[in-house]
Chains A and B, each alone.
Chain A
Amino acid sequence: AQKVTQAQTEISVVEKEDVTLDCVYETRDTTYYLFWYKQPPSGELVFLIRRNSFDEQNEISGRYSWNFQKSTSSFNFTITASQVVDSAVYFCALSSTGANSKLTFGKGITLSVRP
């Protein structure tokens, strides 16, 4: 069975602070995908990134960066110089590869960025 743990439930920071959202996963699959999604107050789920299990390179996209550590089964997400618009619920998710793969979500982290 697959499992995603987001131990942090709520984080509050002041604008311009850096913040890291933690994600730990469990899977028996040798190949898999990891994802981060953002859910702003409007409710839609916005895709942020997909990482393949065989690619451990860290990725940076503007103020966002992701640290994938296969040895510790973690896929952490850092927002640099946070902004009020970053306030949302962030979900980490895991899926197998293949046509019938399904997403397993963590419980989500509510990030509040105060001006």
Chain B
Amino acid sequence: SAVISQKPSRDICQRGTSLTIQCQVDSQVTMMFWYRQQPGQSLTLIATANQGSEATYESGFVIDKFPISRPNLTFSTLTVSNMSPEDSSIYLCSVRRTGSDTQYFGPGTRLTVL
């Protein structure tokens, strides 16, 4: 497994502002992923973040709204830009090590947009 931390753990933000969520892993990993979980819903993949390349976004998610950075093999950030109440969700990062087929998840960031 991997030890994954996320900051902040929760936040309440105003409409129109942006929030950057950090994901830190205790060891180098190849693949990092960002998910959104809207209230009472399942997880939806936002994008895959690989070190040294642009993130790959899923259908319905765009870089202008959810810019992602992956500066090294242990860290990634997701920014939720120009937020609206519909962005209120839990945002989770996950990692998968090279040679492993299991994704492990961070504790999540609970975002409320007023």
Contacts and interface: CB of A to CB of B under 8 A. Distances in A.
Interface residues of A, number: 22
A62 interface: no
Interface of A is mostly: loop
Interface string B26-48: 00001101000000011101001
Contacts of B90: 43
B11 to A, nearest CB: 14
B45 A103 contact: yes
Which of A35, A45, A101, A105: most chain B Cβ within 10 A?
A45
B67 interface: no
Contacts of A45: 43, 92, 94, 105, 108
Contacts of A44: 105-108
Interface of A: 33, 35, 37, 42-47, 50, 91, 95, 97, 99-103, 105-108
